[in-house]
Amino acid sequence: MTSTAEAKVDALFAKWDKPGTPGAVIEVIKDGKVVLRKSYGMADLERGVRMSPDSVLNVGSVSKQFTAFAIHLLAQEGKLALGDDVHKYLPELPDLGKPITLRHLLQHTSGLRDPINLMLLGGWRLDDVVTEEDALALIGRQRALNFAPGDEYLYSNAGYNLLAQIVRRVSGVPLAQFAEERIFTPLGMKHSVFRQDYRTVVPGRALSYSVSPEGGYQNVPENHAGAGPGGLLTTADDLALWDRNFYDCKIGGKDLIVRMHELRPLNNGKLNRYASGLFIETYRGRKLVEHSGGIGGYRSVIARYPEQGLSVLLLANTSDINPVTLGRRVADIYLDGATSELPTVPMSTALKETAIDPSQFDALLGYYAFTPEEGIDVTKEDGALMGRVSGQQKFRLYPAAEREYFLKVVNAKISFNAPGADSVVAGLVLHQDGRDMPGVRAAVPLPPKAADYVGEFYSDELHVLYSVSLKDGRLTLTYPRGTVPLDYVGNDKFAAPLIPTVVVSYQCMPPHGCSGFSVSNGRVRNLQFVKVNIASGARSSSDSSFVPTPAMDMVAKEMLTRHTISINRLR
């Protein structure tokens, strides 16, 4: 007979417990005993293979705690110290002006730019093959930090790329082998492996999926290889063995486990909540040790409530599962019996698509401003209504009624005003995340002298060329493998709809023009591009008498918080 708690968990995962959907594995441990071990949905949609509690999945950034544990094992043996400068072990790294310690790498306070974000700026796509060597090459070409080490916390995979190399240098074996010999085998984790090559066959592996924009699911390649920031393939049962070690300290001992949880303040004295591959949080008044992961369509979380002796392990193979939210709802059930905070029903399932003559879209077309700097551009393409928020990707708008449209890529809808006496629709309202954000029909924001921003710009750190051109008064940015519009947001700054959103900050000084610009995309700040003259192979003469001031990243932060339609979220 199904228990009350299990029935409530089943309700949480009902959306994915169907023959035509990917799914998840959930395991709940209370006081050292497995009280729930269950799977939902499909591991392989093409071959009709159901998900099993024994299915193997990629856990993404959950891997970081294993990398951190390896570093602590070596520190325990006196082979390294967390306060050591990274150059002691990796002398080939460039000198970025400030000492970076192993502890900075462990706790995401190094200031190093994230190689995944750098790759996206360089024209890489999310489904490109990415090797360990690719990431290290990009890290090695950087000439600046996002901030001085210890000043801030900013999640960056670069630190764990370097920690994996330090394990190799110090121990003499790759991290994958070290973890196998020192962690997996001693704990009995027989189905866990750091996959060094994405082509390696892993028996029992669930495949990776995401929601298709047109409905249903599509394959998502998972082409990253190497160990450190990610790369661990494992099962829920194996993770349960790993979780138990945080209680019985079978390997490493109690002192090492304590050091894994140690928090350190930033340079300003504010406590950083990230320890060693572990977030130390408080949830509903309870201590929570947690880390999630995401790569391709895989999603995962390990959430441990040590004072209550409860652990929740969730592994999924579809990107429309939010592991942190669902993991906490499962914990609510087992700690409080709560069912009141189930995930909200997406509007895309609450609203039904209605057939509308595409000619009726014409009255809705135009630009609607949320603020003087940001708005949404509504267009029609091949008989479909499309929308694009400044600096973001296009998305399709599906009609639920004549003036009501919904999105499938995020939980949002748009309501258009009724036409006025002049038959013009003067505004709309974006409904998302419990907010109603009005937009007013307006002219597209344009810079005063658009021609000043035109030219070709080179980044030595990325080894790529960007070109900015002007057509019909609008600026566009051409980068490796694509061209996107540049949306003007004021003060020589533009937003570009790359993934994630990129803010381009020009360095200009009249009457000399613009000597270059910096780009920022969250985990990369102020990456410099210099204006060049391709014909002569020389730097543009306009920068010879101009000294650029440091570019600020405030616009990037505002763009990511004001209006929340986004398909650019990157874990």
Q: How far apart are CA 496 and CA 477, in angstroms?
A: 8
User: Which pLDDT value is given to residue 534?
Assistant: 81
**Closest of 167, 168, 151, 171 to residue 100, by C-alpha:** 151
Instruction: Using alpha carbons, list the distances in angstroms from residue 13 to 19, 20, 97, 150, 303.
Output: 13, 14, 50, 40, 17
Q: How far apart are CA 355 and CA 106, in angstroms?
A: 53
Q: How far apart are CA 528 and CA 230, in angstroms?
A: 28
Instruction: Using alpha carbons, list the distances in angstroms from residue 413 to 90, 164, 403, 404, 433.
Output: 50, 44, 11, 7, 10
CB count in 10 Å sphere of residue 394: 14
H helices within 220-343, ranges in order?
236-248, 253-260, 323-336
Q: How far is CA 11 from the centre of its chain?
A: 28
* DSSP 8-class letter at 181: I
Tens digit of each residue's pLDDT, the chain (571 residues): 478 999 999 999 999 999 899 999 999 999 999 999 999 999 999 999 999 999 999 999 999 999 999 999 999 999 999 999 999 999 999 999 999 999 999 999 999 999 999 999 999 888 888 888 999 999 999 999 999 999 999 999 999 999 999 999 999 999 999 999 999 999 999 999 998 888 888 899 999 999 887 778 999 988 877 899 999 999 999 999 999 999 999 999 999 999 999 999 999 999 999 999 999 999 999 999 999 999 999 999 999 999 999 999 999 999 999 999 999 999 999 998 765 444 454 545 568 899 999 999 999 999 999 988 889 999 999 999 999 999 888 999 999 998 999 998 788 999 999 999 888 999 999 999 889 999 999 999 889 889 999 999 999 999 999 999 998 888 999 999 899 999 999 899 999 998 888 999 999 988 788 999 999 999 999 999 999 988 655 444 344 333 333 333 333 333 333 444 544 333 3
Is residue 483 a contact partner of residue 123, using CB atoms and an 8 Å limit? no
Tokens encoding 568: 């650019």
Instruction: Using alpha carbons, list the distances in angstroms from residue 308 to 32, 163, 517.
Output: 11, 32, 52
User: Which pLDDT value is given to residue 513?
Assistant: 86
Question: 57 has which bridge partners?
Answer: 234
Q: How far apart are CA 561 and CA 434, in angstroms?
A: 14
3-state class (DSSP) for residue 60? helix
CB count in 10 Å sphere of residue 444: 15
What Rg do the C-alpha atoms of the chain give, in angstroms? Answer: 25
3-state class (DSSP) for residue 92? coil
**Tokens 């121990």 sit at which residue?**
171
Q: How far apart are CA 569 and CA 113, in angstroms?
A: 17
Tokens encoding 308: 């209550």
Is residue 183 a contact partner of residue 66, using CB atoms and an 8 Å limit? yes
Tokens encoding 58: 């990629």
Segment holding 12, helix H or strand E: helix 4-12
Cα torsion angle, 491, 495, 501, 505, sign? negative
Query: How many H helices and E strands in the chain?
Result: 13, 31
Q: At what angle do helices 253-260 and 64-76 cross, to 10 degrees?
A: 130
Torsion, Cα 96 97 99 104, to 10 degrees, reads -50
Long-range contacts, 99-104 (Cβ 8 Å, 24+): 99/149, 100/149, 101/149, 102/71, 102/163, 102/166, 103/264, 104/149, 104/150, 104/159
Exposure on the CB side of residue 543, measured as CA atoms within 13 A: 20
User: Which pLDDT value is given to residue 535?
Assistant: 62
Q: How far apart are CA 315 and CA 335, in angstroms?
A: 21
Q: Burial, 538: exposed, middle or buried (Cβ in 10 Å; 0-12, 13-18, 19+)?
A: exposed
**Closest of 281, 332, 363, 298 to residue 126, by C-alpha:** 298
**Closest of 350, 330, 347, 348 to residue 339, by C-alpha:** 330
User: Which pLDDT value is given to residue 4?
Assistant: 93
Tokens encoding 23: 């799914």
